[in-house]
Amino acid sequence: MKRAFLAAILAFAPAATAASDLFGVYLVSTADSPGARKATLIWPGGAVEIVFLDSAPLLEASAVAAADVEIGPGGVSQIRLVLTAEGARKLSELTSRNVGRRLGIVVDGQLRSAPFVTGSMSKDIVVVGSFTPLEASALAKKLGPPSASIRHPSASPQFVAPDAAVLRNLQGTWTVLNATVNSRVVPDPKFGGGTWTFDGGTVTATNGVGQTERFALRTDAASPAALHLEPLPPSNERALRILFKRESERLTVAFFDGSATGPEDFSPAPKKVVLVLARQGRTATPSPCDILGKAGMASLLPGGVREPERERRGGGPACVFADPAGREVLLLLVPGADRAVFEAEAERLRPKAPQALRQEPELGRTAVSVARGYHVTFLVLEKETLLALVFQLPGVDIATLREFTRRVLAEIRE
């Protein structure tokens, strides 16, 4: 049996309301829609959003067969509404037709939530908010008679107002160290190289090219290690469910790209994005240009070195040195990497030269190289930093390149 979850995020406030506003489900529209009504939605943390609702409700109080108060996860008072057969049919139809759109949920004259529709929903609705038991009981009596059949919380994910204890350790700004999909480093800086700033019940995500999105946070009542991110206007992003874990000054989050359904673990999977972040101020990643210079870059490019090119890729900072003849040395550093990332990147090299992938025990336990014509790549995992050193140096033997790589590693180890 599918159950709809519609979270209320305003405290109950007794007021005289029209019958149609005792309970109403509306499509969210735009300000210029004929008959659109303006409503104010207050998100956890105090963020205010102006929402415009269609003039006519798609569901109203007549669709409610029964209402009762129950104690949900964490001891939270919540209201469960059982719909009539006709009400359940209408809810299923309207959610099936409007996947990707938002619904405005009005209870007792107030807009309580404006969730995105992610699939067909039916049967009963759980309204979770900052209700005291007395307030929840008074509101339930207005909505319908009690029902003995609705005493237990739904097994479906229930996103409630953010739990202060859950969010406490996330507050502040975190810098994205790397972004991976299926453990492979994502080169696009739109995924990595930015920051996530948690402020009360909201998070602001800025990517490596400066694009910023702001989300309201809700807590998964059944799983303290999951959060629901609801985009705040003017964002066009979809709602997102993320899994997170904090280990000392590291924060890891996982989500499915393009899907509101969140993962259950951090294991590699197609379309599963995993971000590793560090608390801002504790992300000192050495400059790859400085490292190359100290390792003796000039000795590899005796014809003269042009001004190095610095860039930020999705995996981390990169630097390219080249001479007028087109000979190049590139160093990419991916901080916050682990063995799984190293192995995925090694596999990325393997199909191009299956016989040429060579273990490099002189450089460490997790080190390989591959030679393809004039291109030689060394891949090494050192101190949770993945190092990719790519040479395009005709006439330079691999022993010389290996020795240079050793000097680069020595700079990272200091």
| Domain match, 257 and 226 both | yes
Q: Report pLDDT for 291.
A: 93
pLDDT tens, residue by residue, 119-158: 777 667 776 555 566 777 788 888 888 875 444 444 445 5
| Domain match, 20 and 156 both | yes
Query: Per the structure block, which two tokens stand in for 264?
Result: 């259950």
- CA separation, residue 198 to residues 23, 171, 245, 253, 385 (Å): 33, 5, 14, 13, 26
Domain final position from 245, 279, 313: 279
Query: Per the structure block, which two tokens stand in for 333?
Result: 């550093």
| Domain match, 11 and 155 both | yes
User: Percent of the chain, pLDDT > 90?
Assistant: 25
CA-wise closest residue to 242 among 293, 198, 284: 198
| Domain match, 145 and 185 both | no
| Domain match, 20 and 98 both | yes
Domain final position from 127, 160, 193: 160
| Domain match, 137 and 224 both | no
How many domains are there within the chain? 3
Residue 192 scores a pLDDT above 80? no
CATH classification at residue 371: 3.40.1000
CATH classification at residue 123: 3.30.1360.200
CB 58 within 8 A of CB 25: yes
Burial 145-176 (b: 16+ CB within 10 A, else e): eeeeebeebbeeebbbbbbeebbeebeeebbb
| Domain match, 303 and 397 both | yes
Burial 329-356 (b: 16+ CB within 10 A, else e): bbbbbbbbbbebbbbbbbeebeeeeeee
CATH classification at residue 241: 2.40.128.280
Mean pLDDT of 295-310: 79
| Domain match, 323 and 272 both | no
Domain that holds residue 106: 4-160
Report DSSP state, residue 307: P
| Domain match, 243 and 275 both | yes
Residue 52 scores a pLDDT above 70? yes
Domain final position from 160, 183, 213: 160
pLDDT tens, residue by residue, 33-49: 888 889 888 664 456 78
Q: Report pLDDT for 405.
A: 96
Q: Report pLDDT for 10.
A: 24
pLDDT tens, residue by residue, 354-413: 667 899 999 999 999 998 888 899 999 998 899 999 999 998 999 999 999 999 999 888
| Domain match, 195 and 151 both | no
User: Would you list the DSSP string of 261-306?
Assistant: SPPSS-S--TTEEEEEEEETTS--PPPHHHHHHHTTHHHH-TT--P
| Domain match, 219 and 135 both | no
| Domain match, 156 and 16 both | yes
Q: Report pLDDT for 158.
A: 54
Compare 234 and 358 and report the one with higher pLDDT: 358
Query: Per the structure block, which two tokens stand in for 413?
Result: 């180890």
Q: Report pLDDT for 2.
A: 31
- CA separation, residue 267 to residues 227, 246, 377 (Å): 18, 16, 27
Residue 323 scores a pLDDT above 70? yes
User: How far apart, in whole angstroms, are the C-alpha atoms of residue 371 and residue 377?
Assistant: 6
